[in-house]
C-alpha cells in the first residue's frame, strides 16, 4: 500500500505600496520584526503618528499588516484589525 503526498502552497498576499500612508488611531501599536504578533517587538508607534507604507500584507483573516519606517533607517510591521482598524489609510 502506498500513500498520496499532498503539498499545500501558501501564497501570501503582500503588495508593494506607493503613496499609501497610515495614521495611527489607537493609543499605541507595537512594531514587530515580521507580519506576525509572535515575532520580536521592535518598538511602538503612537496615536496620530503618520507613516509611509512600504508594503501591505492582507493574507491574515483578522489583521492587515503594514511595513513602515518607524524610526530613521528602522523598519517594522504594525497590525490593524480588519473589522475595527487601529489605523486610517490615506492615499497621498
Report how far apart the first and last C-alpha atoms of the chain are (Å, whole number).
61
Domain range annotation of the chain? 14-91
Measured CA to CA, the distance from residue 13 to residue 86 in angstroms comes to 20
Residue-level pLDDT, tens digit, the chain, 92 residues: 565 655 544 455 666 667 899 999 999 999 999 999 999 999 999 999 999 999 999 989 999 999 999 999 999 999 999 999 999 999 87
Q: For 14-91, which CATH class? A: mainly beta
Residue with grid cell 496615536, as numbered in its chain: 47
Is the pTM value of this prediction over 0.75? Answer: yes
d(CA 68, CA 32): 10
Amino acid at each position: 500500500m502506498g500513500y498520496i503526498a499532498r503539498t499545500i502552497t501558501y501564497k501570501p498576499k503582500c503588495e508593494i505600496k506607493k503613496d499609501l500612508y497610515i495614521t495611527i488611531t489607537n493609543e499605541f501599536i507595537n512594531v514587530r520584526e515580521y507580519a506576525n504578533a509572535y515575532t520580536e517587538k521592535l518598538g511602538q508607534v503612537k496615536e496620530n503618528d503618520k507613516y509611509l507604507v512600504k508594503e501591505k500584507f492582507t493574507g491574515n483573516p483578522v489583521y492587515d499588516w503594514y511595513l513602515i519606517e518607524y524610526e530613521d533607517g528602522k523598519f517594522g510591521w504594525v497590525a490593524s484589525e480588519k473589522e475595527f482598524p487601529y489605523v486610517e489609510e490615506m492615499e497621498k
